[in-house]
Structure 1
């Protein structure tokens, strides 16, 4: 039974995420980190190369020689745009592909901190994949209304804040899913859990989202978030709001 008394504490949630970062170097977790890392590296590398050559060709065809000085403006814009687009697309795609490995990473983390043998809930890869798509669908249905807020005068002043909150919620929902699934909670129950621990969950998702938006850091923050989310759920299930040295080996 998961207790939520301390789940709303933002400091506790961030403490769990920090502990997850520290556990990245744990000897027993390394093999679970490699495949998601390779997936991210391949996706980002392909996306960067394809984007670079596409933009380069577009600039050469669209910008005449006498406006060549615009290259100094367009290329910085390209790199900024790549970071933004990769955050909203390739990070999501990488999580979809890495979902089965993240589930195993969460189970192994739980085994380490609990001292008991834990096996992830057995599920076919396609079921895991479609579970991810269900979460994506839930989030996409709410993206369009939020985007429309940017077009409404006065309301568009608070639209960026609402978008940031929504992004934090979606990211937390993604990474909390793995330990919650290993606790036997389905999608509807996961949403109920997140709603009852809203402030802690939003803090966790917000900081994780910031890490996902930073180059290099975003290659490992996903794995750290899975570990941190596992610690978060485990400590709530044991009705404790502190992390001991034994929990973060």
Structure 2
């Protein structure tokens, strides 16, 4: 038995090394760079707050835009996913085809989603502007990717992409609710709204929190859809945390500032994830 146990632990060594290489080494490297100041000569010196002071001026607006981007995307995605799951939880003709169409956006890579929505928003030949002008909703092209509307435009694209994940999560959860609960509610004379409020939604609370955790982390760290559609602009209208990190690292070649921003992003995600997990434990 001891030999079997040792052999089992030996098989875990490659997995441990992979985890160390993929997660621990980059995090340690990020922490080290966040407290280092690289001179023009390429020499590194320790600095406690230097890199954080560099990013302090724009940090508040960047975090604000990132939170608007994150929760402005996941809340509508989850509400639409729940609504679609409730609709498709009933049997009707063409249900399988409708479910497949609803899941289609999730199968498309984000870079392709970004390009499609970028073309859709174009003022001169974009399908959305063409439709609005054809039906008389607007007399001149709407600049969807202007400074005032760019963040909303990319949020809409993100909602379209992430809604199917929320939908399939809720749809699977609805199928797992015991039929006895619904039958008991029907016997007691509960209507559709009462059944939804007192049985369905409480049963969906764990999957709501779990889906919220996943979508929060994914959306908070999304880079490609924003970069491809707006590049963080116009101005800084869509400069969220990943875009700001990219700008500091690639454009400004400032590893220290980029690492400091990365640490702050990790801290924010840890706080939000902790809140989610606490709520999830209370739900159980």
Where relative contact order (Cα < 8 A, 6+ residues apart) is larger, the structure is: 1
Please, what TM-score do these two structures have when normalized by structure 2? 0.33
Please, what TM-score do these two structures have when normalized by structure 1? 0.37
Question: Greater helix share, 1 or 2?
Answer: 1
Larger Rg: 2
